[in-house]
Amino acid sequence: MMLNNEFKKKFDTEQNLSVKTSIRNDFLLFMKKMDSIENVALIGALLKTKNIEDLKQFTIKGKDSSTHRSEYKTIDKNADYSGGIGALRQEVANLFYSDAVYTELKDLKTQIGFIVEKDGSISNVKAVGENTTFNRQAEIALYSLVGKFSPAYNNGTPVRSHFRLPLSLKFD
């Protein structure tokens, strides 16, 4: 915010139109670099999180081919995101950093699988698709979610479950 104000002061006090344009372009370039730095930090956090999760070495029992899988063969209630699947998709889209995706294709798709824990938090996010940078950004977006899930239930008890979210984006 302070940087915004300083750039704005400099921009507002400048009378020369070409210098104003230069100040504006410098600001936009600076903000893009800041986004990139933040993204690198998020990738580092993602790798650290994935390494910690890999060390836990756990398995999911009772896998099936449904969208929601649980460690139990039958569950009374599937895990759900607060606000529903539409809210989940919208929040992932808002958190997605598309500038870090390197592709020549216009349409990219991935399947994001993750565990919804008994407390509604998520873990073990893994995106599988053709584009590695798209997959990583999808994983970062999922780990960055602010909202929580309500867990799956079996006989009235919260249980861990697997959740799968297909994601596709169009690039112009």
The tokens describing 24, both together, are 């504006």
Instruction: Tell me how long the chain is.
Output: 172
Residue linked to tokens 């990738």: 43
Q: How far apart are CA 90 and CA 12, in angstroms?
A: 36
The per-residue pLDDT for 109 is 93
Q: How far apart are CA 95 and CA 140, in angstroms?
A: 8
pLDDT higher than threshold 60 for residue 172 = yes
The per-residue pLDDT for 66 is 38
pTM of the model: 0.61
The per-residue pLDDT for 81 is 94
Averaged pLDDT score across all residues of the chain: 79
More confident residue, 169 or 51: 169
Q: Which of 15-24, 62-71, 97-106, 120-129 has the highest mean pLDDT?
A: 120-129
The per-residue pLDDT for 41 is 64
Residue 135 CB contacts under 8 Å (≥ 6 apart), including other chains: 110, 127, 128, 129
Least confidently predicted of 53-62, 95-104, 148-157: 53-62
Domains by residue range for the chain, with CATH: 1-57 (no CATH), 58-170 (3.30.1150)
pLDDT higher than threshold 80 for residue 38 = no
Contact 21, 14 (CB under 8 A): no
Residue linked to tokens 């565990």: 115
Distances (CA, A) of 165 to 27, 48, 109, 128, 153: 36, 23, 11, 11, 19
What would the pLDDT profile of 118-145 be if each residue is shown by its tens digit?
999 888 899 999 998 889 889 888 988 8
What would the pLDDT profile of 1-31 be if each residue is shown by its tens digit?
556 677 778 778 888 888 888 888 777 777 6
Q: Produce one character per residue of 54-68: b if its CB has 16 or more CB atoms within 10 Å, e if not.
A: eeeeeeeeeeeeeeb
Confidence class of residue 68 from pLDDT cuts 50, 70 and 90? Answer: very low
Confidence class of residue 59 from pLDDT cuts 50, 70 and 90? Answer: very low
pLDDT higher than threshold 90 for residue 106 = no
Closest CA to 26 of 15, 34, 37: 34
Residue 53 CB contacts under 8 Å (≥ 6 apart), including other chains: 123, 124
What are the helix and strand counts (H, E) for the chain? 4, 8
Give the residue-averaged pLDDT of 56-66: 44
Contact 79, 150 (CB under 8 A): yes
Distances (CA, A) of 34 to 30, 71, 102: 6, 41, 18
